[in-house]
Structure 1
Amino acid sequence: MRDRFGRYRQPAGFALIGVIIAGVVVAFAATAGWLTPSRLSGADVVDALEQHNGAHPGFRRAHQKGVCVVGHFDSNGQGQALSKAGVFVPGRTPVFGRFALAVGTPYSPDGVPAPRSLALNLTQADGDVWRMAMNHVPLFPVGTVRDFVALQQATAPIPDTGKPDPARLAAFMAAHPEARAFGALMKSTPTPSSFANGSYYSINAFRFVDAGGRSQVVRWSLAPEAAFAALDRSRFGALNAQDPDFLFNDLLTRLQAGPQRWHLLITLAEPGDRSDNATVQWPATRTQVDVGTLVIDRAALEENGPCRDVTFDPLVLPAGIAASDDPLLSARSAAYAVSLRRRSGEPPQPSALARDGAVPTPMEPRR
């Protein structure tokens, strides 16, 4: 069927297939993998995502439903003691990025128990670029590439029911306590009511290198200035019926009222903290340094926004920021490249959101 703007729309109900498994998101897909230690290629992982999520030519293979955003980062200078990266010199760095839902279809309604994501591109004055891809949950359900592919296979809907095979899913969860821990965290952690009032986490560890060559293992997060409010998950169905794009419309309503801000917090690892496993959280007592403020002041649909043909590859890093020994970092880099290459060879699709052109005002619900 067509929407009010003349675009073909897929019925929203199809978007739920394979998204909710016992209250835990199955389309995690913020990472994927390649080569060692599992000898899987980026193409193998993207194949697994496509088999799980179905075919959506022209869209990203994960986190398909999203919107571009534009703003800047104001450094307060506190990061210079940790890293020689130019982004931490006091002053302003231009930013663009993308808010998205970690779902497997671009037509999912917003009321699903899925992680929200924020990806950013910061371009320093010297031309160096820092890209990051963050989720609103602080850890990942699996720690290896092979387990990520196995997760996609275990949660893939089967033709008979449109749901995962119960025995296969149960076997996977029984063998992966880290995935059970992630599911418990997703269920117990309040879901932010807005993209604007949620925190976002790097998930993986990185290394900051200062001007003297000293290296410090870190993770980072963005803490919102907007007051937190939780969504009532029991009302997801009602919210979807009222407006299946309610999260995106809320973001744009807020941006119409004024810029939205987050503080960039750098968490410093201590001896014994794991840097190679994204399923393991560090103690809450670790030192955090507020290094500046992210300011988002406008949004645009992907067909004409700056984020459309960009991979938010976490290994695109400026001097002063380096990868840790977490194998999922090279995994993400390889799979993102494959995803971009495939969708670049397909007819470009308009944004899955129901609004033409740039978006200075709230998007209207689909009819």
Structure 2
Amino acid sequence: MAALCAIGLMSGTSMDGIDIAFVRTDGENRIVAGPSMFVPYDAAFRRRIEAALETAKAIVRREDRPGDLAELETEISLRHARAVEAFLKSEEGHWGRPDVIGFHGQTVLHRPATGVTVQLGDGALLARETGIPVVYDMRANDMAHGGQGAPLVPAYHAALARSLPKPFAGKFPVVFINIGGISNVTYVPAQGAPVAFDTGPGNTLIDQWVSREGGVPFDAGGAIASEGGVVSDVVGRYLENPFFEKSGPKSLDRNDFTLDLARGLELSDGARTLAAVSAEAILKSAEHVPEKPKLWIVCGGGRKNPHIVGDLRSGAERVGAQVIVAEDAGLDGDATEAEAWAYLAVRSLKGLPLTFPTTTGCREPVSGGVLAEPQKS
């Protein structure tokens, strides 16, 4: 199959909006990343999604939609359709009409222990609304084959790692860090399959903390944390969680870590301490990879928190490793996950593996995704 033009759509655990990105790729080693856009959710809609996380706890089967989840799924799908339309009409949309859309949807429940993962998103509705084929529901087949259903981005990270520019080319092992609501890492060796797993809370605890204690949705630029200090015993108690002792593959739900251990902290101390938790959890992941990483590349919204990145750099330097942000390597750290979903959509069309035993714990490399074709008039 020749290279296809794909759009990736990602709405992550931060629940702040929709990332859109163009990629031209053959689903293997040919990757040309194109323009991207972010379409934010309004505060009221974000609160609806937050409420849905509670409603979703009642889900037993993947197809269950208790309460208003069915209505919310339709609304999410329509918002994604409008976002695609706006993107294609914008200057960023000059690449032309895509061959396929990779649609993540909004995760409201992820329980790998019981084989249930739910991403709200109606791929057939999105295909009808946009007139473009849509690949969606990319986690389910992995779980059906014994996998955790996450993370899915490693296939894309591995391809990026092998095309890094100088002076970073060849600095294996490379570890890509994605810091969204939950952080995950992809370890890419010089030879062989990537190793990947969730590392712990990324931005989610910080966001919850400043929302609850300060009435703001997130700590922009780490400004709140800059007024505080790290409370080391709180960091230590978070890191005592048995999750950190497990080797990968492993994955987390947004609700697996709470603010209970931060109770009683002052606003800025809490924000700074939780940033340290995020960084230390990532650094701790080096205990579960085959070789000591030489290069860490930070992607996702968390790379904009100078405290997380600063703590990562300090920790990595102590063991002779280097930490850079995506832009240092010519990548777009905001668009990486959306780009990955475009890349995965093309891999799905070709029947190529999306996940591997070393990334999700599936029994064998497996493809995935459901293709929804637009209805012809």
Shorter-chain TM-score category? under 0.3
- Normalising by the residue count of structure 2, what TM-score does the alignment of the two structures yield? 0.27
Structure having the higher helix fraction is 2
